[in-house]
Each structure stands twice: as structure tokens, then as C-alpha cells.
Structure 1
Amino acid sequence: MSESIFIGAGEGGADPQRLNLRLANRHGLIAGATGTGKTVTVQGIIEGLSAAGVPCFVADVKGDLAGLAMPGSPLAKMHTAFAARAETIGLDWRYRDTPVQLWDLYGEQGHPIRTTVSEVGPLLLARLLGLNAVQEGVLTIVFHVADQDGLLLLDLDDLQAMLVHCAERASELTNSYGHVSKASVGAIQRALLQLRSQGGARFFGEPALNLSDFLQADDSGRGIVNILAADRLMAAPKLYATFLLWLLSELFETLPEIGDPDRPILCFFFDEAHLLFDDAPAALVDKIEQVVRLIRSKGVGVYFITQNPIDIPDAIAGQLNNRIQHKLNAFTPRDQAAVRSAATTFRASPGVDVAAAITELKIGEALVSLLQPDGAPSPVTRCLVRPPASRVGPLTAEERAVLLATDAIGAKYDQAVDRESAAELLAARAAAGAEERAQAAGGQAADAREKADAKATRAAEREQAASPWNQAIASATRAGGSSIGRQVANELGKQVFGSRRGKAGGGLMGTIVRGVLGGLLRGR
């Protein structure tokens, strides 16, 4: 294995520029306007890293980088030009492939990549959903409650169920954690619907990606290049940026500290890097800056690829030590500011007017400054960049199918797994609560029926006990309103209730008989 990889040189191989592998984890920047050769430069660097045993990860925005899997062809017009360039810079160059693994968040052009909602966390998820500070705070509470209640947040269904659960407990949670408004919960739910419409639900779930699958070499010791199909993903730029930031954060949190190894354990290439920082809140930029600064000691080199170097925040750009600058245009004030900014980032070199050269570079030509073995940046050098030996262009559907069927990953991630998590547990709790309420309602109905039956029984008993009295009323009524009727009533009262109560009863009966009879008599 070599200690450095060839990047480029001047005419006849003058001033060769080499990337020191021991310092390749000090990060880098590859910048230039559209069509100036950035993608070809990235492809050549990845080939060199792979040949040196360094695995790589790169997002394939245009579909061209997947061609790494196939050797170039002398019949291709571009490769004819590459052969001429290789001869110009004195490069011993021949066509060859590079070992690759193909990935795709949508599972269409590569193996699916999934992670769980919990692993992404509220900060990155709020960025993905475009939430404001208040809504992000509510989302953080939702994650906290899920942790407290032992509810796994694996996919978007789990998060949706948890949001509903927290909305139902809004008053309780507000007292404990701060204001949880149903309006904020509703806003988060609407953002989730938008994410689903973009296919983002496929990113969340299990089996989750095992990062060790990104750190492999083939049988000959070449580092495997992990290529993410990002052509469709670019239509959802927040999902693209969030995924890459999550992946970088996971590498940082998972990998052990190893200092400065002889060569990186992984080189990570961020294409269209400006998407990482567009509309990013300060807290997120601080997080990225921290990860980029510290991940070096984990043996990971991070390389940002962008059209304009001023797209990278200063706190992060200051950590990008290995720099390759392709042509920049100077048509607008912003372009001119970018040229001046880029020129000041290089170590001066006698005879090189950096600001002027940046606007004059040809396709495939670049200004290069790389860390030297002593850690100092090399003086800026204008050179032709090494051409790739693999195909520059997309794979066919048949080629992708063969690669997917024969790589080491196999079917490990192809089938999604839906194990019991927050959605299922909350649904089970709701069903159990409904059953308990139904049982309680049934018990109350039974109690009511028992009470009604008892009341009816008591009424029947009273009716039966009062039947002699009713018979007396009937007799007295038939007897009319005469004194004979009153005497009959008194006598019946004595027989039914006893002599003492009979008198009272007879008096009452007399009153009732008079009333009834009086009406009847008036009717006559």
C-alpha cells in the first residue's frame, strides 16, 4: 500500500501533487463552477483512495459516479481525452474498475438505507421537517416522553402515534415540561405528511444500517466505494442533507478514537455541499462544525464538493486543509467575491496569481494545495488533475442488477421489519382502555337494571300489602256516601289494621270516599 495518492501534475509531470494518506483525514474542499471537471476529479481521487485500501462513501447526484464499478473504454470519446491527459502528466494509466456497493434511500437503484426516528433525533428531524423553534421544542418533548414511557420510535407511524398521544396529554405535559399546544402538534403532523409524500417514510424503519458495512475492503485489499443514488433524492434536498448529516453524526458517535492512522478508515464525500447549510439554524451549523472538527480523530476524512467555496461556513471551511480549486466565473459581484475569497485560502506561490488563475483554468485543470508530511499546506500549484480509469457515466439497469446480486451485502436490508414499537403499544393501550370503559359501562347498566328490578319488586309488595285497603275502598264506594258506608269503612279498618288504627284508617277512608263520591254525585 502506498503512503500517498497521485492527484495531478503539470506538463511533463512537473510539480506532482500527492495526497498524503496519513493526513487525508484532515478533510478537504473540491470547488468549481458547473462543467469544470469536479466530478471527474472526485472520481479520480476515489479510485486512488480505494486502491490504497481506503473505503469511501459518496452521493452520486448526477448518476455518473456509479461508473466507478466499470472499467473505462478506449472507444469512449472522453476516455480518449483522458488518455492524452495521462500521457501529458506522465501517469502510468490503464482502464480498470473499482469495487463498489450501491445504495438508495428509496431502495430502487441500490440496497435500502434505513435508520430509526430515535437515532435521527429531534434536532435533525426538526431540520428535515422545516419546524420553527417552538415546534422543535414540542418535538423534543415528544421524544423525551417516549423515552420516559419506554416507547420505541422506529418509523414515522410511531412518531405520528406519539404526537397524538402527547396531544391528548397536552395539559399534563405542559405542567411538567412546558407549553405543548395542539397547534404545534398539528403543524408537526402536517410536516410529516409532506415528508411521506416525498417518499421520506422509506428512510425510517428497520433493519437499520450497520455502519460497519461502509468500512469494508474486497479480497484484494481495495477499499469498497459506497455509492448513494442521489439523482431522485435531490428533489427532496432537506432529506438529502439530513441523511448525510445523520450519517456523519453516526460515524462520529460510533467509531472509536484512533488519532491519526496511517490511512483513513473512511473518506466521506459531500456533493452539492451547499444543501447542508441552506436555511440551517445556527445550532445545526455548530453541530456540523463540531462533528467535522472532532471526527478527524476517528480516522474519517470529510470532503465537501461545491460550486462556490463561499457556500461553506467559515467555521467549517477553516478545517478543510486539502484544497482543489477548479475554475470559477466572475460574472457577478457574488462570483467576484467568491474568487477573492478562494484566492486568500491558498498558500502563496511565486509566479502564481491565484485570483487571476482561478478564472482562467481549463476543464480538468485546477489549483491544488495539499498538506505536506510535516502538516504544512503546500504552496498553491496549477496542474492537470489525474483522469479516472473507470467509466465516466451511468450504469445500465442490467449492470446495477448484477452488482446488487453479487456484492457482499446481499439481501440483508432488502426486506423491511416492523417490530412492536410506539404505534403498536399505544394502539394496544387504547384498545385496552376502550374495553375497560365498555366493561365499566356494562357494569353500570347491570347495576341500573338490578336497581330497577328491586324497585319494581318493592312496588309489587306494597301493592299486595295494600289490597285489603283497596277492597275496602271499593266496598265503600259501592255503598255510596251514606252513614252506612262510613260504618262499613270503620269496621273494615278495625278488622284489617286493628281497633286503634282502624279508627284512624276509617277516618282517612271516609275522606277518600267523600271525595270520590262527591264527584260522582256532582256528575249525577
Structure 2
Amino acid sequence: MNRILIGKGERPVHLLTRYANRHGLVAGATGTGKSVSLLVLAEGFSRLGVPVFIADVKGDIAGLAVPGVMNEKIRERVDRIGISDYTQEGNPVIFWDVYGQCGHPVKATISEMGPTLLGRILELTEVQMGVLEIVFRLADEQGLLLLDLDDLRALLGLVAASRKEVSAAYGLVSAQSVAAIQRALLSLGDREAEALFGEPALELPDLMRTDLSGRGIIHILTADRLILKPRLYSSLLLWILSELFENLPEAGDLDGPKLVCFLDEAHLLFDDAPPVLRRRVEQAVRLIRSKGVGLYFCSQYPDDLPNDILGQLGNRIQHTLRAFTPRDQKAVRSAAETFAVNPKLDVARVISELGVGEALVSTLQEKGLPMPVERTLICPPRCRMGAITPEERLTVRARSPLGGKYDTRLNRESAHEILARRTAATEASEPQTPGRRAEAPSEDRSGLGGLLWGTKRRQGMLETMAKQAARTIGSQIGRQILRGVLGGILGGSSRR
């Protein structure tokens, strides 16, 4: 049976890949060795042919790409654990970066992100979220692709100019709510988050690759800059989770997962999340294992995660927690209660005594039963434990098979271009009736005055377009885009 050696307690402690899709938790205070545990698990999955996606929020996960260097501490640990086949080696790695500087750009389209996650990024109120959902529904039913922020701005402009018609067809849309969304989009652009939205959007099959030798490719999202925008970071991870959940077929019981995702700083996924979003995430986590995906949450405290999520995590690695404050003491008690009981171990006491590189480990064994918790000396990774140089990163990136696909930004026809073309066509076809007053040559049409005049002149055309949209709702049902539990598109419809 395929398994990953995690370390050694009274006996060797393994993670059985057959139960790796029952999800897991890696927790512990800062500086206690969580990153080392992540490295051991990630390279273990890769050696067994399982692709991995992992977020690198500090820069030390990038060491997976290059071999480690032997020293006395590593040699001593290898001997204590009894690793007979230990060799230091790098792993097949592909780097990703929202900003495109430290890896291939990772992008999502506005349509794929959906109103739920986009509203969270924009920090909208419940009322504003309702308006955003109307905007998305209008776009979906009219076949208007929302690929980047320009598309969304263009559609918001149409809705703002034609509120009466849109409100009659879809529900009340207030000028204040539309303006608030527009301001939030402006702020989003100012924070450089526009880099996330556009094409080419990340495609799931590219995360589920193996190399020519059959090893699973480890996809590392460089997130040391992205983590400074917590809602953007967490919404990107939730979008990837949504894409996997909505689009992968049912897989049943497998000998190993199709993909394993490590979600660092996992508490950010749930901080300030509205109840409806939290329920949807919990549903996705509960059901995604049947698609062959394993999720491993990484955070300081187990109770950073909702109880319904914790109850789904069958494989646990708990590094030390320092009980200096009442909050810490409560976290220690909470963590101790989540493990399968070992009569030989006082978990509540040991959890504060663990050294760096030690952890309390419990994994699912035969028949899916959790093993009694073991105080475990964690294996040393075979890769480098730490950051890599810019030159090493460039070398790894140059070997990537995906550069030609993702490194060049695309800008195909979408809502922005379609609406602009319709407006131009309507202006060109307007008849000059005899009774119509000609444009006064002396009238000032420059600056703000000209902009306001042009806006008023186009408003009638925009209202006509909105009325046409409202009249054709019934005939558009067959073209509607279907959205899943997190608001993402089912079947990747936005790439048609």
C-alpha cells in the first residue's frame, strides 16, 4: 500500500495515500516546524505521482524545487528515524504568481470568480451584493463575457444608466449601490489586484500534471506579496477550491488522491466570511473528497477553523502550542480533545513541550480508523529547507512546460468591447430628422461639459439596450450560465 513516512514515535508513523483525500490539518505556533511538515508531505505525494498545489506565504516552500544539503543534524535525524532510502533531491515544480513576477501569472475571469467571491474581495454589503448578483445575472443571460474589470465596469455603466428597466426585469437597483460597487472597483485597481482578473485563466488540467518520470508536479503559488491582501488571497484559494469542486467528476474510492491542496493561513478563508459563504465552503470541503481531492489546512490553532471543517480532517499534525495566555490555554485544550486517545500520552501536557521538528501525529489507518496520537520526530525533507535564489527560480521557470500558455495576457472580445461596439453602431445609425435641432457649433463640448453632454446623449441608447435585454430574458434561458455553490461557473462556460 502506498504511504508517506511522516516520522517516528514509538513506531514509524505513516500517512496512507488511500485515506489522503480525507483531508488534514497541520497546526502549531510560528517557528515550530509546520513548514518542514508541509515539505515532507508535499514531496512525499510527488514521489507517489500525486500532483500538489501549495501556497507559499513566506518564501520557504520554494525550496521544494532544489535538493537539500546534508549536515550533521539531518544525518542524525535520518539515523534516529531509520530512513534507509534517504537521498537529497529536488522536485518537479511549477511556480505561479498573481503578479507574474516570480512565476506564471495565475488569473481568473470575472465570470468564473462569480458574484459571491468577488463581492467578498470588494467588501460589499448585503444590499450591494444583491445588486452585483443582478449584474452577473444580466451578463449571464445575455451571453456577455465578464473577463476583466473593464468588462464589469462597462456593464455597471449600462446598469447605472438604465436602472428603471433593469429594476423592472430583475429587481430594485439603486444608484447608491451601483456607485458603491464602482468605487470598490476603483479601489481594487489602485491596490494592483487587477492583475488577478483576465485571461488566460488557470485551467484545472494544468494543476493535475505529472512529469515524464511519473512524479507529481508541485505547483507553488508565490504569495508573500499576495498575503498582504488577505481577502484577495483567501478568495483566490476559494475560487480554486470552487473550480475543483464544481468541475471534477465523481471518482469514488481511489488508491490515492488525484490532487492534494495545501491551504496555508487557512483562518483567512473564514475570517469575516458571511454565514452563507461559510456554509457553502463547508459543503464543498465535505464533498470534494469524493472527487479525489485532498485538502490540508495549515494554521496556528486548530480552532481557527470552524467545527464543521475540523470534523472533516482525518489526518492531523500538531506542532507545539505555547500556553502563555488564556487564548493559548484554551487552544491547547481544544487541540488535545481532537486526537484519538493514547493512554500512554498526556496530550494536553505534551503539546506544550514539543521541540522544533516534533509533532503530535494521528492519521487514518486501515478501515479509515484514526491511529492513537503519537509524539513523533518529523522526517527531514529531501529538498532545501528555505528560500531559493532568483537565479534558481528563473532556471526552474525556464523548464516549465506552461510558459507559452500563460505568460502572455489575452484580451479577446467580451462585454466591454461588445457594449462599446453596440453604442457606436447605434450612434452611427441615428437618423437626422428635419425637425431635429442641429448641434450648436458655439456650444462648449470640451472637458467635463462635453463628457456630461455625451453621457446624456448615450443614455437613451443605453436604455434601449436594457429594454431589449429585458424583453429577451425568456428566449435566453437556454443560454444561461449555471453557477455552483460558491458562485463559480459549472463547466467553464466563460471560455467558450
* Residue 415 (str. 1) matches residue 411 (str. 2): no
Q: Give the CA deviation at 1:175.
A: 2.1
Instruction: Supply the RMSD in Å over aligned alpha carbons.
Output: 1.3
3-state SS of 2:14 partner: strand
* Residue 303 (str. 1) matches residue 296 (str. 2): yes
The equivalent of 2:66 in structure 1 is: 70
Aligned-partner Cα distance in 2 for 1:319–1:214: 24
The equivalent of 2:4 in structure 1 is: 5
Which of 83, 86, 95 lines up with 2:75 in the alignment? 83
CA 1:444–1:47: 2 relative to 1, 3 Å: same
Check conservation: 1:25, 1:260, Cα contact below 8 A. Answer: no
Aligned-partner Cα distance in 1 for 2:23–2:434: 69
Superimposed CA distance per residue, residues 5-52 of structure 1 (whole angstroms, 9 cap, x where no aligned partner): 101103xxx311100111000000000000000001100111111111
Residue-pair matches, total: 437
Which of 395, 398, 420 lines up with 1:427 in the alignment? 420
The equivalent of 1:294 in structure 2 is: 287
3-state SS of 2:416 partner: helix
Aligned-partner Cα distance in 2 for 1:388–1:195: 39
The equivalent of 2:432 in structure 1 is: 440
297-306 vs 91-100, greater mean Cα deviation: 91-100
User: Runs of 4+ in structure 1 displaced over 4 angstroms?
Assistant: none
Superimposed CA distance per residue, residues 297-344 of structure 1 (whole angstroms, 9 cap, x where no aligned partner): 110000000011110000111100100100011111111111111111
3-state SS of 2:342 partner: coil
Superimposed CA distance per residue, residues 197-253 of structure 1 (whole angstroms, 9 cap, x where no aligned partner): 222111111111111111111111111100000001011111100000000110111
Aligned-partner Cα distance in 1 for 2:54–2:21: 15
206-215 vs 240-249, greater mean Cα deviation: 206-215
Q: Give the CA deviation at 1:374.
A: 1.2
Q: Give the CA deviation at 1:444.
A: 3.0
Q: Which has the higher contact order (CA 8 A, sep 6+)?
A: 2
Identity %: 56
* Residue 21 (str. 1) matches residue 17 (str. 2): yes
Q: Give the CA deviation at 1:81.
A: 2.1
**Structure 2 unmatched runs, 5+:** 439-496
Which of 28, 40, 44 lines up with 2:40 in the alignment? 44
Aligned pairs (5 A) from 1:116-195? 116-195=109-188
Q: TM-score, normalised by structure 2?
A: 0.86
Superimposed CA distance per residue, residues 251-293 of structure 1 (whole angstroms, 9 cap, x where no aligned partner): 1111110112111010000001011111011111111111111
Which of 101, 108, 129 lines up with 1:115 in the alignment? 108
Structure number, greater radius of gyration: 1
Q: Which has the higher helix share?
A: 1
Q: Give the CA deviation at 1:443.
A: 7.0
Aligned-partner Cα distance in 2 for 1:198–1:323: 36
Q: Give the CA deviation at 1:440.
A: 2.9
Aligned-partner Cα distance in 1 for 2:379–2:96: 27
The equivalent of 2:331 in structure 1 is: 338
The equivalent of 2:246 in structure 1 is: 253
Superimposed CA distance per residue, residues 430-462 of structure 1 (whole angstroms, 9 cap, x where no aligned partner): 22233344x43677358xxxxxxxxxxxxxxxx
Aligned-partner Cα distance in 2 for 1:17–1:234: 33
Amino acid at match of 1:258: A
CA 1:443–1:406: 2 relative to 1, 3 Å: farther
Aligned-partner Cα distance in 1 for 2:220–2:82: 30
